[in-house]
C-alpha cells in the first residue's frame, strides 16, 4: 500500500479522463493533418528516402555534418525533381 501512495504522489501531473480524451482527439487530428500534408507533398518522402539511402551507403561518422552537407547541396532540388519524374512515369 505504501508503494501505491508513493506512485500516486509521483503521478500528480497525470491527465484527467477529460484531458486524456482531448489529447487523444488532438493526436488523431494531428496525424490526419500530417498525412494530408505528406500526400500533397510527395517530395518530402523522396527527400527523406534519398537522405537515408545515402546514410546507409556511406555510413558517415559525423551524421550531423553529413546531414548539413546533404540538405545544403545546391543540386538537391534538381536531384529530387529528377527522382520525382522517374517515380511518376
Tens digits of residue pLDDT in 42-70:
899 899 999 999 999 999 999 999 999 99
Q: Is the pLDDT of residue 2 over 90?
A: no
**In the predicted structure, residue 81 carries a pLDDT above the cut 90:** no
Contacting residues for 83 by C-beta, under 8 A, at least 6 apart: 46, 50
The three three-digit cell numbers of residue 2, written as one number: 505504501
Q: Kindly indicate the confidence band of residue 17, based on its pLDDT and cuts at 50, 70 and 90.
A: confident
C-alpha cell at 31: 496525424
Asked whether 84 and 42 are in contact (CB, 8 A), the reply is: yes
- Whether the model clears a pTM of 0.85, i.e. scores above it, the answer is no
- The domain locations on the chain are 43-87
pLDDT band at 85 (very low <50, low <70, confident <90, very high): confident
Amino acid at each position: 500500500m505504501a508503494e501505491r501512495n508513493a506512485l500516486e504522489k509521483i503521478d500528480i501531473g497525470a491527465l484527467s479522463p477529460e484531458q486524456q480524451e482531448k489529447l487523444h482527439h488532438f493526436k488523431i487530428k494531428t496525424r490526419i493533418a500530417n498525412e494530408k500534408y505528406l500526400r500533397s507533398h510527395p517530395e518530402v518522402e523522396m527527400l527523406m528516402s534519398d537522405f537515408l539511402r545515402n546514410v546507409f551507403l556511406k555510413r558517415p561518422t559525423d551524421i550531423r555534418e553529413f546531414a548539413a552537407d546533404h540538405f545544403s547541396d545546391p543540386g538537391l532540388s534538381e536531384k529530387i525533381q529528377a527522382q520525382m519524374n522517374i517515380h511518376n512515369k
